[in-house]
Structure 1
Amino acid sequence: MPLVSALIPTYNRAERVGGAVETVLNQTHDDVEAVVVVDGSTDDTESVLAAYADDDRVRVRVNEENRGISYSFNRAAAVADGEFYCILGDDDRWHPEKVERQLEKFASLPDDFGVVYTGGVLATEEGRVTRRYRPDQRGDLYPDIFRGFHLHPHSSHMIRARDYDAVGGFDPDFPRGVDWEMTVRLAKRCKFDYLPEVLVRRTFHGSNISDEPEQLDVGRYMWKKYREEMVEYPDVAHAFLASWYLAKSRIELRHDRNYREGVRSAAKALHHQPSANAAIRFVIALTGPTGLQTAALARRAGASVQSTLLGGYDEGTGW
């Protein structure tokens, strides 16, 4: 019965962090601990966590000032005792059997597998599913991992502690895209596998970091750090650049930035990787923010229709 440590960085999420701790303690696998790092919060986070002071399964560390998500993940790992580390965002929730199912999967795999992730959903606070994350990548992911980060949700990742430690944890020089960047280094060391079931729920509440305009900087950070590696695999490099420019175009249009820049980014994506998808995105970009909003509404409508078919997810119970 290996100990599993959930690493939970939190910043000014007093209303959500308690739910993250509870989703760990409610696992069917009993040998778990929640390691929470309060990253310089100025709200009531510490008061919420004080309720667990007598529970030896909950360990809390406090950064006196905001140090960032990478630093906080690594500080949590430094005090964690688990054989496996689980990534957990303070606003994400797990199915009660998630940890148990992942450990069963690890037990069936060769020793060179270091990460097991799962399917998940993104849902509104009212329970409406807006996106389903469908795992489809396993085995040796390097260098294809540069094509884009498609191993969502990150809060589904269970990582062998030895592999996390071997790659040095998260890169504190990356203010964003830390999930993708660390996965690159893990992919150079170990193999990945997944469970297709929906075992993680992300909540869309309007203040998700992944939805901020600054996310378009992730591609720039990745290109700066890994350009020399990527260009050794031209097809991979072109796919990376196409994905980056598509993301830039979407964010530039969504947040009413320069319309011409949005179209230009879509054109660059099409140049780097000519495809039907890139062509459609380019046409949508030409229609401006209105076309993008229409496409987003159509996608959400489709996701809503599919939500009743999500295996393992019940909108009434949250699973």
Structure 2
Amino acid sequence: MRSPQCHPCLRDNIRPRSPCRRGRVMRISVVVPVYNKAAYIEVAIQSVLNQTHQDWELVLVDDGSTDSSAEVIRGFTDPRIRLIQQPNGGVSRARNRGIDAATGDLISFLDADDWYGPHYLAALAEMATRYPDEHYFATCFRWVREYQESDWADTPPQPLPVEVVTDFFERRRRNGKMWHTNSISVRRPALQAMQPCFPVGESLGEDQDLWFRLGERYRLVYCKLPLVAYRMDVAGSLVVTQARRALMPVYQRLEQRALAGAVKGAERRAALRLVGDARVSVARMHLVAGDRATALGELWRARRAASRHWIAAVVMAVVFSPAMARRWTQWRKSRLPELNQH
């Protein structure tokens, strides 16, 4: 087994395996899409090796990398690690390929430039065992820029603080990003029945698309502890480089499903308000660019939101100049909690 060279503090003592129902140990498949992440992938792999829950398989799908990612992966000799190589087809196709290859009771995801805290898989196994009739599980996550040993030193309390979320879309709308791709797991039969899970050809919001569709079918079992990392500001990240001046397809499809009745009752209203808030964000981008007419059109389509964000955006569209809108947007971004993490 290879030891990490860049982060020696990732080494942890291995604890006993987590139980599964019927006395069997629960096996967890971790799917990692890899594209030119040679600088990061070693830490991601080592974080899985260091889990306190040791019944796992790691399925790495190299999506046509042109750097040494595959060579770094081959440097690990643990038989639970599998490398699949394919021509470049995008992150969605890579994740779908990993789902097809998975054999565990649960399927989890990890981005190649991020990592798990040492207790994450054990928490998933405990949640899935405690709620045998549920299919959809998540924990909170930690915004990070670099690895800090102190972030992962604490052992989670027992029993885990877990809740069954019955207002998925309202919770997502009200509280923002409570979970991330790295912190989500789904029972394998439920996930494989939805293949292709991730929309092929999309690489922005493609993960949310699946999380929304799962939220329409299943209740989310959620642990509020931040047990995984999401690394910000990685070079080439779409989150960093792509401006959102159009409503992402994930929200377009959610709106279509909600209007068609796939989401019902209070959750339907919450889903439409969530889409409305996304349209408000698009409208702000057009205001900053000086395109007031397009911004007003988006705000009209976003009227279902009827939130304070929508009201503030309407006021901005009427009275703000592009320079004023730009300054306000910069101020608002500076107050986002994820930008104030180490």
Of 83, 86, 89, which aligns to 2:108?
Answer: 86
Letter in 2 for 1:100: A
Cα shift readout 1:20-72 (whole Å, capped 9, x = no counterpart): 111111100011121101111111111211201x22121101112x1111111
State the identity as a percent: 21
Q: Aligned pair 1:198/2:226, yes or no?
A: yes
Which ranges in structure 2 are unaligned for 5 or more consecutive residues? 1-24, 152-160
Task: Confirm or deny that 1:280 pairs with 2:309.
Answer: no
Task: Give 1:15-30 correspondences, 5 Å limit.
Answer: 15-30=39-54
Aligned residues: 294
The residue number in structure 2 matching 1:118 is: 139
Find the aligned partners of 1:19 and 1:187 in 2 and give their Cα distance: 31
In the alignment, which of 254, 261, 264 is matched to residue 296 of structure 2?
264
Quickly say closer, same or farther: Cα 1:196–1:125, change in 2 above 3 A: same
Q: How many Å separate the matches in 2 of 1:24 and 1:204? A: 20
Alignment of 1:114-263 (within 5 A): 114-125=135-146, 138-140=164-166, 150-168=177-195, 169-206=197-234, 207-213=236-242, 215=244, 217=246, 219-224=248-253, 227-232=256-261, 235-236=269-270, 238-252=272-286, 257-260=289-292, 263=295
Task: Sort the Cα spacing of 1:137 and 1:249 in 2 relative to 1 into closer, same or farther, 3 A.
Answer: farther
State the 1:170 CA deviation: 2.2
When the two structures are superposed, what TM-score results if normalisation uses the length of structure 2? Answer: 0.74
The answer to whether the 8 A contact 2:90-2:202 is kept is no
Matched residue of 2:40: which SS? helix
Say which of 25, 37, 46 aligns to 2:70.
46
- Which of these two proteins has the greater Rg computed from alpha carbons? 2
Please report how far the alpha carbon of residue 281 of structure 1 lies from its aligned counterpart in structure 2 after TM superposition.
4.3
- Offset of 1:274 from its aligned partner? 2.0
**TM-score normalised to the size of structure 1?**
0.79
Q: Distance in 2 between matches of 1:173 and 1:270?
A: 26
Q: Distance in 1 between the 2:255 and 2:275 partners?
A: 12
Q: What displacement does 1:292 show?
A: 0.8
SS in 1 for 2:122: helix
Deviation at 1:267, TM superposition (A): 3.5
How far residue 196 of structure 1 moved from its aligned partner, in angstroms, is 0.6
* Residue type at the aligned position of 1:39: D
CA distance in 1 between counterparts of 2:294 and 2:37 reads 33
What is the aligned partner in structure 2 of residue 11 from structure 1? 35
Instruction: Identify the residue that residue 19 of structure 2 maps to in structure 1.
Output: none
Would you say the 8 A contact 1:266–1:282 is kept in 2?
no
Conservation of the 8 A alpha-carbon contact between 1:38 and 1:62: yes
C-alpha distance after superposition, 1:141-198 (max 9, x if no partner): 6776996974521210011111111111323254432222212332343221111111
Q: CA deviation at 1:238?
A: 3.8
Q: Which runs of 5+ in 1 are unaligned?
A: 130-134, 308-314
Question: For the residues of structure 1 that align with 2:300 and 2:241, how far apart are their CA atoms?
Answer: 22
CA distance in 1, matches of 2:127, 2:147: 32
Distance (Å, rounded) in 1 between the aligned partners of 2:79 and 2:27: 13
Closer/same/farther in 2, CA of residues 117 and 85 from structure 1, 3 Å limit: same
